[in-house]
């Protein structure tokens, strides 16, 4: 099992617990991996609007979610591959999905050419 597959397995183990632990932020979690700017991400979190996403970065909400993921997944990380300085979650908005991908997850998660 390569590193990406291993981390994906960790994500699957904690995905529901992570979603439930941060549901008060009113975000939608998608347990799908995608490469963003050459970096593999394992979860995509959608805020409703670009403004809400930007506010979440400014207010530290995204850092809270990142920390919660590491806290939950580290319990299962026997290989000690998870690093606190690495990002595993990509943050976007449903507004961007609608505007640039016709609201279709299939287009959003299609491999980049």
Q: Residue ranges per domain, the chain?
A: 3-108
**Residue 90: predicted pLDDT:** 92
Nearest Cα residue to 81 out of 32, 28, 11, 25: 11
Share of the chain above pLDDT 70, in %: 98
Give CA 107 to chain center in angstroms. Answer: 17
Q: Mean pLDDT throughout 86-94?
A: 93
Give the residue from 82, 87, 90 showing the smallest Cα distance to 10.
Answer: 82
Give the pLDDT of residue 32.
Answer: 75
35 bridge partner residues: 40
Residue 82 has pLDDT above 70, yes or no: yes
Mean pLDDT of 74-96: 95
pLDDT, tens only, 26-77: 788 887 777 877 788 889 999 999 999 999 999 999 999 999 999 999 999 9
The pLDDT, as a whole number, for residue 46 is 92
């Amino acid at each position: 099992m390569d590193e990406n597959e291993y981390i994906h397995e960790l994500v699957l183990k904690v995905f529901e617990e992570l979603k439930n632990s941060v549901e008060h932020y009113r975000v939608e979690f998608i347990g799908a991996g995608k490469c963003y700017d050459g970096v593999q991400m394992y979860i995509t979190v959608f805020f409703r609007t670009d403004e809400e996403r930007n506010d979440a970065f400014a207010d530290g909400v995204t850092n809270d979610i990142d920390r919660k993921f590491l806290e939950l997944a580290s319990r299962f990380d026997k290989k000690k591959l998870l690093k606190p300085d690495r990002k595993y979650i990509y943050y976007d908005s449903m507004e961007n999905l609608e505007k640039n991908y016709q609201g279709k997850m299939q287009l959003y998660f299609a491999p980049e050419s």
